[in-house]
Structure 1
């Protein structure tokens, strides 16, 4: 009987490989990725003794074929000092179920180079070290995976190293030449290769992780008020379609609408969330369901399915995708209340429990209960989602997903994507981090975030670092600057400068950002004592005069348009993991950069400097981590600086490691600088 190998079943291979990233739940959940996105991969790998170790990451496409191999290196700065940590970037090219492995190996050339340099300089084992180099490069020249040019160069270097008629310096120079260094950098001389297990990487379509969102209420677009009676005529899909051209012109990618279904009459809320509605008050779109139908119906004021289909088609012509709200709750007069009372929570007095978020009460909404009939309720929701998918909707913004079981989302998103690949779900989950992250692991492609309340320099820097480096494998942040429910104190009291500042931070800090209509009009008046808009559009119609705002210059639309165009022109801004925070001497000036190497080898580098104090001009010195900018020697000026172009103002400067900045928030609170590559 053959004897079992002593290494069989052991945890460690020849070289230990641990703490591999990006890995979610031990590989049970695939890490998130996008086509063309730079995914930071890393591992802790080490070996016994003093010989050198090489570490690589190998990207495997959905068929299992190798598509990219990258040699990893220690991280910059303190993270890479003495930690045995190795990192690099892999870039999948198209959607699908990809994977990657980490390889650790004895670096034969690196080990010989180090030993030869030390020993020959000290006059120790000179001839032996030269002979070992000759054999090393001679062996490498016989490796058939190398092309003939490289093999010839390796053979020549081996011959010179072994030629005792030549001087030591000449022989060593052949083995240390830049040509040989370049060859072994491309294809290292490896031995004792240890391969990690395979880790999954789910590459989803672009809109799963990149895009600019715009939210409006279709009933407000085209709504008309009779000033004699005070009664409103609702806008509809036919009137709202006229607003699409302006939304597309501002450079947005996704048009998101709150629920478009019939609205309950029982306990309907009035203006500003009052408990009594008048006969002309439209109610909250989130109070879904009435005699006209539920989640699979359209509010009759908005039009028909034919009108909706025409709306979606026109949006598509303009390059916009339509996102719908998936609000899994019901008004008291929703058909489900009669047909499926088991889908709700019944109290001891026989009443159905309405929604509460103390001190807030939502008497017009019944939450769903997934514990009484999980199978029936889940399949009904799947039917509804696929109905809207059949009408051209491929993106859903999910209202309060954290109030439903996580297992349900895992099931639903998987079932929907099985039936209709590419459907995207955005979690509106302003809740605890553990739940927000669990929803990402369950399949949500993106999520609302705490960005809305991160306003100081320290808060912004810490949050940008968290979402770009700690959680991107399972959590894609969508930086909405406002919502119908959220008007922060920063926007209430910061004036127009605050609106510009938040737009710059959101549009450049994340590949995903969003705006709720009215932001471009600087709407900032809150309901007293609340962080909500007064005359909240959730409970009433709102007619905005876009043309008058544009004519008077009181519109932020041109600025938002510029930001979205900058995003489209600079791929570095559409990746998540490539953000580096830099230093400034001012407590209100935030500095960060994004860098990306493109498939053709060119580089795109953006530096953003923002004064986050909307009231006071700030002057300071900015200190840049030049390594993060990956400047080539030919990009530098004779004085060692480099050129930057301000994509907002159009000005240009020569910058260096240290730079003076002055930002007046009332004139322009930010620089968005593009590093000019002189050789591109």
Structure 2
């Protein structure tokens, strides 16, 4: 409580106001608070809210949620992207106090002598109200003042004009003892942040032509674009592309995580960077940057948009390794440490160290993200964000949103609940969840309740499967189970996604391809199934 009238339990408030709540443009958002005062005088409450430009919005009066609950609420509807703010104001309402008393005395049969002071008090309140109401309504209020003071009229005619002002003075009240809550923030995204269906799509798996003599053909942005109308026809909103950058040659892994790659092994897309470029480059076999621009444009023509994977890790031959060795962890022998999750080793991945040159590394990552935004990317699926500092993500998202408030970030973090929710509070637009491993009615009920409890700051995006996650229920349930899980994902959350068979990372039928990040490695992913083989029911350990 911060003023004369107590204002408590304001909602939505995330972590005592340290991070904004979330909403989207056009969404009705409920603001509520517990407000009460001593005695029997009437009080009023309102939401005072401001746009990202600091402009005060229309006065939004709150109503009590159930008589006697002292819980007040109102709905606001932001119409611009960006950081909004609001507070709750409460006040003593002398007109409503006066009106309640007069009506009660009239109902009790009291006469003009009994109400003499009430009539005078009412006139004084209405004199104050004249300057608060719109100009067109001021004559009504003036007439009510004159009627209250007209000793020649009967009691009913003296009070009737003043009692009739109830609706007008609800919207334009006389306010005493005004008290305010602390200001709270709400980040407002574009509507796509709240709902959408995602289709994971590997362009290199879409050659558009059958393999010649059993040899795989690498797809490109041009051939992959031929698949886009079919994706649009299925009703998907977002075409998510795993990393499209050059793939490392040094320590390249082969099929099924083999330590030595064969001459035709394409490598792992998440092992980013080679002599051909890094995070701001396009894999040559996929085409040029102009080809990527054309792919993005075609996607938009079909009513969809591209989401690009943002995987902040490097192959050993990434240009950053040569130009900025200070961005990596160096071992005692002077070598750069590759990714490990003991006893697992990922020799083709060098994790970034965000503590050695945070200023330089942050500036470069912001440059990369801005580069892709300038090429039409407005959605980023962030790989393994829980392996990077949370305050880095808060900084990066704030920096991007300052110039591009329409950019969305999906956190791909299957990890501990505190970290998942912490990333959402840091600014991630959407979050992966434990949906994949929740299969029984009891598990799904508990899971759904937890999503509702976190709804002010965490938007779930449910995925039945990914290239490296295949639950036992899908392994053994057949096509029907895939349909069931897709329906559950699409109805339990406004946002959901899937990895279909044609979007696996293999380049030809029967040709396995491995995927690695700093903390995980998939097994095989053949075109026949589009899904990896893995131990039933076991989530990937992070």
What TM-score range do you get, normalising by the shorter chain? 0.7 to 0.9
- 2:104 corresponds to 1:104: no
Matched residue, 2:327: 343
Q: Which has more strand, going by share of residues?
A: 1
* SS of residue paired to 1:233: coil
Tell me, in whole angstroms, the C-alpha distance in 1 between the residues paired with 2:464 and 2:113.
68
Change (3 A) 1:52 1:396: same
Alignment counterpart, residue 296 of structure 1, candidates 280, 288, 291: 280
Distance 1:164 1:518, change over 3 A: farther
Tell me the distance in 2 between the aligned counterparts of 1:96 and 1:215. Answer: 28
Residue number in structure 2 paired with 1:669: none
Residue 34 (structure 1) aligns with: 24
The counterpart of 2:303, out of the listed 294, 316, 319, is 319
Greater Cα offset, 325-334 or 275-284: 275-284
Q: Distance in 1 between matches of 2:472 and 2:45?
A: 49
Distance 1:307 1:106, change over 3 A: same
Change (3 A) 1:330 1:419: same
**TM-score normalized by the length of structure 2:** 0.81
Task: Give the structure, 1 or 2, with the largest relative contact order (CA under 8 Å, sep 6 or more).
Answer: 2
1:87 matched residue in structure 2? 73
Distance 1:227 1:476, change over 3 A: same
Task: Please give the alpha-carbon distance, in whole angstroms, between the structure 2 residues aligned to 1:180 and 1:257.
Answer: 61
Q: Distance in 2 between matches of 1:313 and 1:453?
A: 36
- In the alignment, which residue of structure 1 is the partner of 2:376? 392
The 1:504/1:151 distance shift into structure 2, 3 A limit, reads farther
Q: How does 1:40-55 map to 2 (within 5 A)?
A: 40-55=30-45
Give the Cα separation in 2 of the matches to 1:491 and 1:166: 81
**1:539 to partner: Cα distance:** 5.7
In the alignment, what sits opposite 1:183?
168
CA contact (8 A) 2:200 2:503 kept: no
Q: Which string of whole-angstrom CA distances, capped at 9 and with x for unpartnered residues, describes residues 627-649 of structure 1? A: xxxxxxxxxxxxxxxxxxxxxxx
- Distance between the aligned counterparts of 1:379 and 1:372, measured in 2? 14
Of 33, 52, 56, the residue aligned with 1:62 is: 52
Task: Give the structure 2 partner of residue 373 of structure 1.
Answer: 357
**What is the rounded CA distance, in whole Å, between the counterparts of 1:165 and 1:501 in structure 2?**
75
**3-state secondary structure, aligned to 1:214:** strand
Residue 417 of structure 1 deviates from its aligned partner by 3.3
Could you tell me how far 1:464 is from its partner in structure 2?
3.9
Q: Structure 2 residue aligned with 1:145, among 117, 132, 144?
A: 132
Change (3 A) 1:291 1:465: same
The separation in 2 between residues aligned to 1:363 and 1:255, in whole angstroms, is 30
Distance across 2 between alignment mates of 1:496 and 1:132: 76
Please say if residues 399 and 428 of structure 1, whose CA atoms lie closer than 8 Å, have aligned partners that are also in contact: yes
1:196 aligns with 2:181: yes
* Aligned partners of 1:220 and 1:543 also within 8 Å: no
Q: For 1:315 and 1:21, locate their aligned partners in 2 and report how far apart those are by CA, in whole Å.
A: 39
Contact 1:209–1:512, Cα closer than 8 Å, also in 2: yes
Which has the larger displacement, 504-513 or 256-265?
504-513
Cα distance, 1:401 vs structure 2: 0.9
Closer/same/farther in 2, CA of residues 13 and 314 from structure 1, 3 Å limit? same
Alignment of 1:233-632 (within 5 A): 233-357=217-341, 360-468=344-452, 470-518=453-501, 542=527
Distance 2:451 2:72 in 1: 20
Q: Is the CA contact 1:234–1:541 (under 8 Å) kept in the aligned structure 2?
A: no
Return closer, same or farther for 1:189/1:453 CA change in 2, 3 Å cut-off.
farther
Counterpart Cα distance in 2 of 1:324 and 1:174: 64
- Is the Cα–Cα contact under 8 Å of residues 432 and 463 in structure 2 kept in the other structure? yes
Residue pair 2:394, 2:427 contacting (<8 A) in 1 also? yes
Q: Structure 1's 370 and 57: CA in aligned 2 closer, same or farther, altered over 3 A?
A: same
Change (3 A) 1:501 1:540: closer
Q: Which residue of 2 aligns with 1:562?
A: none
Partners of 1:90 and 1:420 in 2: CA distance:
24
Q: Deviations over 1:129-184 (max 9, x none)?
A: 6863785377437523324675566667774898897687x9888776xx654334
Indicate conservation of the 8 Å contact 1:354/1:365, yes or no.
yes
Q: Report the Cα offset of residue 459 of structure 1.
A: 4.2
> Contact conserved, 2:82 with 2:405, CA < 8 A, in 1?
no
Report the 3-state secondary structure (helix = DSSP H, G, I; strand = E; otherwise coil) of the residue aligned with 1:268.
coil
Structure 1 residue 329: Cα displacement: 0.9
1:44-72 per-residue CA deviation (whole Å, 9 max, x = no partner) reads 32212232322111222234333233222
How far apart are the structure 2 equivalents of 1:369 and 1:479? 30
Would the aligned equivalents of 2:2 and 2:181 in 1 still touch at CA under 8 Å? no
Q: Given the alignment of the two structures, is residue 222 of structure 1 paired with residue 212 of structure 2, yes or no?
A: no
Asked if the contact 2:201–2:503 (Cα under 8 Å) also holds between the matched residues in 1, the reply is no
Q: Deviations over 1:4-38 (max 9, x none)?
A: xxxxxxx7322122333333455454433321112
SS of match in other structure, 1:307: helix
Pairwise CA distance, 1:75? 4.2
User: Which consecutive unaligned segments of at least 5 residues does structure 2 have?
Assistant: 505-511, 513-520, 531-542
Kindly state the Cα deviation for residue 454 of structure 1 after the two structures are TM-superposed.
3.7
1:233 to partner: Cα distance: 0.9
Report the Cα distance in structure 1 between the residues aligned to 2:282 and 2:44, rounded to whole angstroms. 60
Structure 2 CA distance for aligned equivalents of residues 461 and 112 of structure 1: 50
Q: Distance in 1 between matches of 2:479 and 2:200?
A: 20
Q: Is residue 282–residue 539 contact of structure 1 (8 Å, CA) maintained in 2?
A: no
| 1:318, distance to aligned residue in structure 2 (A) | 1.8
Give the equivalent residue in structure 2 for 1:207. Answer: 192
The root-mean-square deviation of aligned C-alpha atoms, in Å, is: 3.7
Question: Is residue 326–residue 396 contact of structure 1 (8 Å, CA) maintained in 2?
Answer: yes
Shift of 1:225: 5.8
Distance, in Å, in 2 between the alignment partners of 1:538 and 1:294 is: 25
Specify the SS of the correspondent of 1:200. strand
Structure 1 residue 12 corresponds to structure 2 residue 2: yes
Aligned partner of residue 204 in structure 2, secondary structure? coil
After superposition, the Cα gap between the structure-2 partners of 1:466 and 1:149, relative to the gap in structure 1 and judged at 3 Å, is: farther
